[in-house]
Structure 1
């Protein structure tokens, strides 16, 4: 197949593109190379993908609808994987306009560009953050998501709703994947694993919010990729009924949680990094940050029903793999 992927220089995009290329598919990537974090890391990811003859890339923002339209028409993809977004809960407090522009406007522009193409399936990246103030754990796809706690979460929920309307109006099969705290080699420098590893290896303190009384459903990158690869050839039908959870009754659209299904406390997460690095963490305890949620926990029964796959990578093995990559990348 020919896959058009936005955010191909990002963390998830890089790993997914590598897998798709290895499986014999062609990938056209689009990435804006925004400076939210070290652009050198993004360019290094793209450079490794460019070594494959079936990978081609464009560098522009999705807000540039003219270039986006031209790239989509030229690619004529079988599958579209939309991973590009302005990420990060805390940064949305500092630069909210970036989230509306990149996430809402960018998603609209992409769907508008591909609606008339013979696309078999659109995969739309969403996030566990859309569950917001929800306390009914584990989170299921049919839970109401009406109380976002950050602008990041609000824009990603808006993207889901925009996607549903395009699926309904243009018969565009779409799956919105709600990712739960993705981690692993080549991960984002703004994420806790990257920041904690950097500071622990450097003998610097780490910021621990809410006294460590938080839990996240950490999901290893290889499990995310495997789930996506299995979902790609399984587009939803109009009004899929079995099981109804997460599926629209009026459009070829569904929501699927992609998580490990086993929340880990922040203190246990830190201990896993300490074991991987062989060093003790110096903790700087801080209050809960605005926009944060105390717990994320995915019910992945829908994913397993659709694909026969359930993520199962243990936290320690995933953290070990990240720390090994980090030491090699930074020659520590």
Structure 2
């Protein structure tokens, strides 16, 4: 299966979370494929952010609002009349979820329900993909790759709220989807990296700030493992999944997206690779600051996505690091970052469609 403009051209897409890191990449990828995008999200949090650096707002209908406000969600849905809903908006940071558990639960669970309920009155039922996380599984810290059939759980408020979002979406699908003609599924993605991420508590932005500020990078859990993947590989999986949902009634209702293989690199390994790619003089140290508990081992089994919808990751190993480092180097050199980001997207689409 190939994600192409023949499917996406002219499609009305409601994209939640469009002002975030993944959301901005998704905005540009969707518009490149010819979709008409309506975005719904809070304002971009960081003064320095990919959404503004790439002038995303000029390409779409951008609505600034809060998922916790059902009237704002409903008004946007009615204005967009989407063929497709890609729901990525969330409170997505583990450490922040400890500080703001109420906000996290309300956004990730109540906000998702507000969105799904707003779809019921639409005259033409959309295809819906709800994005959750690789952290929805009950993590026994063995490092074994989680399959879609494994039990859901979550220790921290973020992970638990996303597991609850999975349960909510499944309940809504079984209770209402057939009645309203809506096709709905969930995507569980690994840790994504790529250019243009400036968020707090994420490895690549932390590296970028350390290099630019001339100080030593601090790592909280250097031996923790995560299923790292490039943001474009992840988003390409979402698009393929949506195409499959639209065309095939037998597509699984949940899929994992992450790198192939059973031995994901550690935080230390990925940090050292990116540090070496962007600066020859930067080094790291273990953070001395205590923090809330974070899972040390995390891995995904992504065979079902590969066999059921024909997805594959293309920016692996050296490419994963190189493409990320190239973006930040271009940014540091004052390049036109909209043009550079679009160039990476077009190059990726060429590679992915050639290899599918």
- Shorter-chain TM range is 0.7 to 0.9
- From 128, 151, 160, the equivalent of 2:166 is 160
TM score, norm. by length of structure 1: 0.87
Distance 1:320 1:189 in 2: 20
Partners of 1:138 and 1:298 within 8 A in 2: yes
2:275 aligned residue = 274
Question: Matches of 2:75 and 2:287 in 1, distance apart?
Answer: 50
Which of 225, 238, 244 is the equivalent residue of 1:234?
Answer: 244
Query: What number of residue pairs does the alignment pair up?
Result: 314
Higher mean C-alpha displacement, 268-277 vs 154-163? 268-277
Residue equivalent to 2:343: none
Unaligned ranges ≥5, structure 2: 1-10, 335-356
Deviation per CA, 1:40-86, whole angstroms, max 9, x where unpaired?
416505x622333xx21111111221121122112111111100001
User: Can you give the 5+ residue segments of structure 1 that lack an aligned partner in the other structure?
Assistant: 248-253
Maintained 8 Å contact 2:256/2:300: yes
- Computed over aligned residues only, the root mean square deviation of the Cα atoms, in angstroms, reads 2.4
* Offset, 1:186: 1.4
Q: Report the equivalent of 2:189.
A: 179
Q: Is the 8 A contact 2:40 2:62 kept in 1?
A: yes
1:202 counterpart residue number: 213
1:137 aligns with 2:157: no
* Aligned twin of 1:251: none
Seen in structure 2, the aligned counterparts of structure 1 residues 291 and 239 have a Cα distance that, compared at 3 Å, is farther
Pick the structure with more helix per residue. Answer: 2
Q: Deviations over 1:129-182 (max 9, x none)?
A: 112423361111111123x12100111111111111111111232121111001
**290-299 or 107-116, which deviates more:** 290-299
SS at match of 1:260: coil
- Against the structure 1 CA distance between its residues 133 and 288, is the aligned structure 2 distance closer, same or farther, given a 3 Å change threshold? farther
Q: Comparing 285-294 with 298-307, which one deviates more in the overlay?
A: 285-294
Query: Shift of the alpha carbon at 1:317?
Result: 2.4
Q: 1:238 to 1:318 in 2, by over 3 A?
A: closer
The one of 48, 53, 57 equivalent to 1:50 is 57
